[in-house]
Amino acid sequence: MRSRSALFFVLAEIGFATLIHAQNATTFLNPGIKLGYTFGDNGGFTYGAEISYVWMIRPEHSSGAGASIGPVLDIDFLPRMSRIHLGIETAYAVGGLVAVGVCGGPTILFKDGDDYRGYSVIPFIGALMYPYFNYTSVGELRSTEVGGYLKYHLHTGAGTFNLVR
């Protein structure tokens, strides 16, 4: 049953991504690390890694502003548990520097030898250093977290992005 739930989450993410259609896109691979603090009984200092691959869509007349969207993978470690988050990230860059965005999607939490499924919603803002707030709901567990991502943006190319033919 649990493997079917995980498969459902993965297929839902892939299915959502196939609905996206963007022209004049520039692509970026964004690896990073995160440091934060999770509040509550299962909380404590949190650390982990994140990687995202986004398509930045800029209008022809733009001076660096534009929207981006793409998949993201987070792996986080807390004092008594760990979690994996697979989501869709969308953001808007202002002046090509500061980005304001949100990431959402399924989360798998590993605690005491068991795994639990839920979701996370993560709004963020910044440039290279991105302060964030994370709300995670997994079964009866609800957690909030604050912290910062330190991300590096690797330009991977330009071209059209079209998964729908």
- pLDDT value at position 56? 82
| The model's pTM | 0.78
Q: Is the dihedral angle over the CA atoms 152, 71, 97, 100 positive or is it negative? A: negative
Answer with the residue of higher pLDDT: 30 or 153: 30
Hey, what are 142's tokens?
Answer: 């609800």
Residue 140's pLDDT band (cuts 50, 70, 90): confident
pLDDT at 17: 46
What is 2-158's CATH number, 2.40.160.20, 2.40.50.140, 3.30.43.10, 3.40.50.720?
2.40.160.20
* Integer Cα distance of 4 and 137 in angstroms: 19
Domain definitions of the chain by residue range: 2-158
